[in-house]
Amino acid sequence: MKVCVVGSGGREHALADVLGRSSDVVVTPGNAGIPGSVSETPEEIDADLFVIGPEAPLVEGLADRLRAAGRLVFGPGADGARLEGSKAWMKDLLVEAGVPTARHATFTEADPAQRFLTTMAPPYVVKTDGLAAGKGVVVTDSEEEARHTVEDYLSGAAFGDAGRTLVIEEGLTGPELSVLAVCDGTQAVLLPPAQDYKRIGEGDTGPNTGGMGAYSPVPFAGPDVLGAVMGEFIEPTLAALRRRGIDYRGVLYAGLMATPEGLRLLEFNVRFGDPECQVVITRLASDLVDLLAQAAAGRLTADPVVALEPAVTVVCASAGYPTSPRTGDVIAGLAEAGAMPGVKVYCAGVRRDEEGNLVTGGGRVLNVTALGSTLAEARRRAYEAVDVIEWKGKYVRRDVAAVAATGEEQA
Ligand code: AMP
Ligand code: GLY
């Protein structure tokens, strides 16, 4: 089978690598570090299965266009992708489906939004309605910062049209959990759970990013928790989508928080999480091509998904990320890191310079991913590989999977 992966980041490198275990893979547009990258557009490529990585082309209807041309596509159409393309639409659907989520309201005008803020207690949570590359969410204890955020979003100054509608919601607390469900329109299978590190700084400090690292499995997410995720979040959402006439074939990614009152949904994404994908699919013992092709065809046979060893991924970022990443620095040690036991280095923001060197080309540059017999071993391997990779100003969070790995060693 020939598979075409659409996208250009570390998630797409991981997809190409894992799908490539059993198929020929091309990636469009890919990047300078992903083998099989091609410059043709998805519409120009002849493949048996298309797997669309990022949210933007899904929201813009790429899956619909490919399906209209008779292609087998893993990824929702523009109708289902509204779950991620509009937080206000998503929240309405959650209420309709009875899915537990934070209390919220949607605004397009400053006065009612500011009045609503006065009824909330810290932490204040303000989100752009539209896509903002994972950076449209502000969580703050400062009412003043929340008020400024409301102004910056509604005026279009911060995120253009994406922020002219915004959602203010109740601040929740508790550990987060990412669960990715592979859906065929009617049924779903869960992939192993993961935990993501969203903030730039150690100890979950500083601004939100696209994700600084991830690990899987998550010790607190045992079979009971996953059963609840399926029964209370995934299935009711798929049913509500169906009631709206939406045939959702792709990943339904539940971003959850385990609050003292129980699990709550923070958001749905309509694609594999980045960097959660890197750990989740690297662990799979079952064939990913088969699973995604079944879902794309609307007939999941729902074999249980078998996972191998624990995995940890650490994002190596450019100096200045997420505000103003510095680019163009030569990356050294990548081949050496990739040859270490259990390690895969996935390339995200990279390009070639005029001399042909691989250089930093974005904020999140590499995802160093390692399997190990325990989380502690996977973590140790990932950081050993991170340490042989060098460029000027390379930044990593040092605490990815630290708590989970320590808990495991004490158990
Ligand atoms: P989202 O893109 O909606 O998942 O938000 C990004 C991050 O902001 C989440 O991973 C959480 O860390 C944080 N967040 C989102 N919503 C809330 C909330 N209601 N309460 C507390 N933190 C939140
Ligand atoms: N890692 C979070 C996301 O993919 O949205």
Residues 191 and 292 in one domain: yes
CA–centroid distance for 115 within its chain: 33
CA–centroid distance for 59 within its chain: 15
State yes or no: pLDDT of 235 exceeds 70: yes
Contact 312, 382 (CB under 8 A): yes
- pLDDT tens-place string over residues 35-63: 999 999 999 999 999 999 999 999 999 99
> Which of 170, 191, 222 is a domain's end point?
170
Residues 166 and 177 in one domain: no
- pLDDT tens-place string over residues 66-94: 999 999 999 999 999 999 999 999 999 99
Give the rounded percent of residues in the chain with a pLDDT score beyond 90.
93
User: In testing the pocket of ligand 1, which one of 137, 172, 265 has its CB within 8 Å of the most ligand atoms?
Assistant: 137
- pLDDT tens-place string over residues 116-128: 999 999 999 999 9
Residues 177 and 292 in one domain: yes
Residues 55 and 68 in one domain: yes
At 363, which CATH number? 3.90.600.10
What is the pLDDT averaged over residues 256-262? 96
Contact 201, 364 (CB under 8 A): no
Domain that holds residue 387: 311-410
> Which of 235, 266, 296 is a domain's end point?
296
Taking the CA atoms of the chain, what radius of gyration do you get in angstroms? 20
Residues 118 and 186 in one domain: no
Mean pLDDT over each residue of the chain, to the nearest integer: 95
Contact 399, 203 (CB under 8 A): yes
Residues 44 and 68 in one domain: yes
The total number of structural domains in the chain stands at 4
Domain membership of residue 98 (yes or no) is no
Residues 351 and 250 in one domain: no
Domain membership of residue 305 (yes or no) is no
Domain membership of residue 92 (yes or no) is no
What is the pLDDT averaged over residues 241-254? 98
Domain membership of residue 94 (yes or no) is no
pLDDT value of position 133: 79
Beta bridge mates, 52: 6
pLDDT value of position 386: 98
137 lines ligand 1 (CB under 6 A): yes
Domain membership of residue 87 (yes or no) is no
pLDDT value of position 70: 98
At 138, which CATH number? 3.30.1490.20
Residues 114 and 177 in one domain: no
Beta bridge mates, 208: 199
User: In testing the pocket of ligand 2, which one of 83, 196, 265, 267 has its CB within 8 Å of the most ligand atoms?
Assistant: 196
CA of 308 to the centre of ligand 2 (A): 22
Q: By C-alpha distance, which of 284, 276, 329 is closest to 305? A: 284
7 lines ligand 2 (CB under 6 A): no
Whether the predicted model's global pTM rises above the 0.85 cut: yes
129 lines ligand 2 (CB under 6 A): no
At 292, which CATH number? 3.30.470.20
Residues 347 and 327 in one domain: yes
Residues 178 and 291 in one domain: yes
Q: Which residue's CA lies nearest to atom 5 of ligand 2?
A: 273
Domain membership of residue 89 (yes or no) is no
Residues 281 and 196 in one domain: yes
State yes or no: pLDDT of 207 exceeds 90: no
Contact 34, 63 (CB under 8 A): no
pLDDT value of position 272: 98
Kindly report the three-state secondary structure assignment for every residue of the chain: CEEEEEECCHHHHHHHHHHCCCCEEEEEECCCCCCCECCCCHHHCCCCEEEECCHHHHHCCHHHHHHHCCCCEECCCHHHHHHHHCHHHHHHHHHHHCCCECCEEEECCHHHHHHHHHCCCCCEEEEECCCCCCCCEEEECCHHHHHHHHHHHHCCCCCHHHHCCEEEEECCCCCEEEEEEEEECCCEEECCCEEECCEEECCCEEEECCCCEEEECCCCCCHHHHHHHHHHHHHHHHHHHHHCCCCCEEEEEEEEEEECCEEEEEEEECCCCCCHHHHHHHCECCCHHHHHHHHHCCCCCCCCCCECCCEEEEEEECCCCCCCCCCCCECECHHHHHCCCCEEEEECCEEECCCCCEEECCCEEEEEEEECCCHHHHHHHHHHHHHHCECCCCECCCCCCHHHHHHHHHC
User: In testing the pocket of ligand 2, which one of 269, 280, 281, 313 has its CB within 8 Å of the most ligand atoms?
Assistant: 269
pLDDT value of position 135: 80
